[in-house]
Structure 1
Amino acid sequence: MKTPSKVYFIRHGIAENRADHVPDEKRQLTKEGIQKTRKVANRLHHLNIHFDLILTSPLLRAMQTADILQTAGLGHQIKESTSLVPNGDINNWLNWYQQWRQNGGHCLALVGHQPDQGNWAEILVWGEAKEGLLLKKAGVIGLVIPETGDPVGNSSLFWLTSPKLLL
């Protein structure tokens, strides 16, 4: 019998400001962003959290965040997903997720962007995005996804933490 899976939505760390000379996909974590994200990752490690897979947006700041999570020992494998780019498609991700679960996946980190991360969590819990969950940079939302059936509107929120509480 399959057990419910856990999905952790993790927003990328503090990144460079938007500027005309830096394309959005090339914005990288700031020095402060790297330091705070490392502290959050180390705290998650001390809480014995481990991911079967770290799935990340291909944007540089998200990939850097995923690398920090991996370096802290939270997961061995990182994979990029275009579903996690800003305004990504949750339905594409849900199709991917069902396959991943069938192949034995249990605990997943999704590294991406706000407001998408908060909206996706709301869709999975309440069946619709209400734009009420604000995920701070390097913050974490944890959901339990049911083992069978449609996860949309049937998932449970078990964790919503700002990075300040993890530092």
Structure 2
Amino acid sequence: MKNSLEGLSVDFVRHGIAEEPQAEMEDAFRALTDEGRKRCRKIARQLKEMGWRWNLILTSPLVRARQTAEIFADEGLSKIVEVFEPLAPGGSLADLVRWQTQQDPLTSLALVGHQPDLSLWVQAATGLRSTNSHAHPEAITIKKAGLAQVRFSEGRIDYRQGSLTLLLSPKVLLR
């Protein structure tokens, strides 16, 4: 599915499969596994074949997210990758809303980050709510190397202004 020329399409992409957490390693330095890199590359190629292109990829500063973003860029999905600190765990959609006010208009954007934050950002952008916020605060779950696409018809990212148009797991993308 190609990104439309009207409005703004934002793809919330979860990083690929990463090394397991270890007591002696800071979480920020966990890298993609070999399987994670291979899967990200296959997914990037599939997205490119389907006509995907992004004006820009913003990525969390954590190693596994940066590696995912770089693979997508290497496969031709975007020419520009920038680290965006608020995509680190605990960041806020408000930071993205503020960031966009200082940018030239975009038609397509990818955000590479982490769970549960990405799902919470999608919820905030679309107004989705989980039925049981105490047990599962996310109304949706983005699988590793999967994506959720939110469309902003007015071209501006804002709270409750987006429409969830796609939720793709890696299995669906690799069929």
Work out which of the residue numbers 159, 164, 170 in structure 2 matches 1:157. Answer: 164
Structure 1 residue identity aligned to 2:56: L
**Which residue number corresponds to residue 120 of structure 2?**
119
Tell me the equivalent position of 1:109.
110
CA offset at residue 127 of structure 1? Answer: 6.3
CA distance in 2 between counterparts of 1:150 and 1:47 reads: 24
- The DSSP-based 3-state class of the residue aligned with 2:121 is helix
Distance 2:101 2:9 in 1: 13
Which residue is 1:33 aligned to?
A: 36
Q: Does 1:45 align with 2:52?
A: no
TM-score after normalising by structure 1 = 0.93
**8 Å CA contact retained: 1:127, 1:154:** no
Q: Is the 8 A contact 2:125 2:157 kept in 1?
A: no
Correspondence 1:72-83 to 2 at 5 A: 72-83=75-86
Gaps of 5+ in 1: none
Show the 5 A alignment for 1:5-154.
Answer: 5-100=8-103, 103-126=104-127, 130-147=137-154, 151-154=158-161
Q: Is the Cα contact below 8 Å between 1:128 and 1:153 reproduced in 2?
A: no
Deviations 1:99-150 (A, max 9, x none): 22xx121100000001010110011001667512100000010010131677
Residue 134 of structure 2 corresponds to: none
Give the structure with the higher percent helix.
Answer: 1
- The residue matched to 2:86 in structure 1 has which SS? helix
Amino acid at match of 2:171: K
Checking the alignment, whether the CA contact within 8 Å between 1:115 and 1:131 is kept in structure 2 is yes
C-alpha contact 2:149 2:164 (8 A) present in aligned 1 = yes
Q: What SS does the aligned partner of 1:51 have?
A: coil
Paired residue total = 164
Taking the aligned partners of 1:61 and 1:81, their CA distance within structure 2 comes to: 14
TM-score by structure 2 length? 0.89
What CA distance in whole angstroms lies between the structure 2 residues aligned with 1:49 and 1:96?
23
Where 2:13 maps in the other structure, the secondary structure is strand
Equivalent residues of 2:8, 2:156 under 8 A apart: no
RMSD in angstroms over aligned alpha carbons?
Answer: 1.7
